[in-house]
Amino acid sequence: MTVDSQPSPLIEAFVKRLKLPWYVVTVIFAVFLLLTLVLVAYLDGDLTSPFEWNYWRTGIQGPVLLIYIFTIYPAISKMGDNAIKSLQPLLILDNEPVKQLISGYSLPNRRGEWISLAIGGVLILLLTQPWRGYLQWLEIYLVVIEMALFGFLALLIYSGLHNARYVAKLNQNINLDIFDIGVLTPVARWSLAVSFAFIGGIVISIIFQTAENLMQWQIIMIYVILVGATIAIFFISMLSTHNAISRVKKRELAFVTEKLTEASRDLKQKASKSADADTRELYYAVAAWGLYERRIREVKEWPLNAGIISRLILSVVSPWVVYLIKVLLGMVIGL
């Protein structure tokens, strides 16, 4: 997620250095990965059985997931930019602090990005421990691809958490109209899109796995970590948005409660002095403030509609449904 001409995250900076359009780079990357897999199959002598599905399923999973990441990344990044831009007009800071806050987000922490990239690669090495067996060319290829894949996943998780924290920081400094919380919908859409992106990758991975692999504790741990990170990214940004709405709602309720109390007190005092007193204006004031209070209390404190909630539930449940189906099919027909 970048804003205007500010420095880019690591992946975007790498693509910019190539001076080619993003999807041209993606196609070149995909062709390189697939041709490398064919070369590996040739070196292992497995091109004599080109239709051996288990071999290609094992080899193609990593490249497909890497291509998937590169394909969806621009759309997710653009939605993130839109979410940031939707909050900028609401900021109550002076111009210079606003610029510092915006640039403070889009200036990537290169050290953090490189560390997360390394952690992902090292983690998959520790989980798979490829050095325990004899490595053919395919195993070497898979080790390199999996290190790259999980390095990118760790980088995306780091970026997602960083972006969510930044949205939380912005939400602490916005001047929100309590009756126009729809301006925060882009944040909810971005959070949901990030969740869908991670879940989509998980589902693709499950499809390529065998039932035997899916029951290994290492694979289960990886999926639990990815689903947990997905939920965390969504709710960190949503919780800060909820807090912003709740804060404005409490402030408005305090104001209207004070006005309603004053109007009610004036109505009571005037009515008690004379039974014939004209209290219509005071009565209308009490009714108006009471109606205003009810409208404020009815404002939802989460920028989520039924569609977003149902999609979120679907995104969390779907990988586990696919997982169970895959395991059951594996037990029945050996898929």
Helices (H) and strands (E) in the chain, counts: 11, 0
* H or E stretch covering 162: helix 137-171
Is the separation of the CB atoms in 65 and 149 below 8 Å?
yes
In the block, tokens 């900076």 appear at 13
The predicted structure's pLDDT at residue 105:
60
- Quote the pTM value: 0.72
The number of residues in the chain equals: 335
217 burial via Cβ count (<10 Å: 0-12, 13-18, 19+): exposed
**Positions of the chain with pLDDT under 50:** 2-5
Instruction: Provide the phi-psi class of 300: left if phi over 0, else alpha when psi is between -120 and 50, else beta.
Output: beta
The per-residue pLDDT for 99 is 64
Phi, then psi, of 174 in degrees rounded to 5: -105, 150
58-82 confidence digits (pLDDT tens): 778 888 888 988 888 888 888 877 8
In angstroms, rounded to a whole number, what is the distance separating the alpha carbons of residues 117 and 103?
Answer: 23
- What pLDDT score was predicted for residue 4? 46
Q: How many CB atoms lie within 10 A of CB 272?
A: 9
> Do 202 and 65 form a contact (C-beta atoms < 8 A)?
no
325/329 Cα distance (integer angstroms): 6
- E strands, 232-303, are none
179 CB contacts (<8 Å, ≥6 apart)?
295, 299
What pLDDT, in 10s, does the model give residues 8-67? Answer: 778 888 888 888 888 899 999 889 988 888 888 888 776 666 556 666 777 788 888 889
What per-residue confidence (pLDDT) applies to 3? 47
**Domain spans of the chain, in order of start:** 10-252+298-333
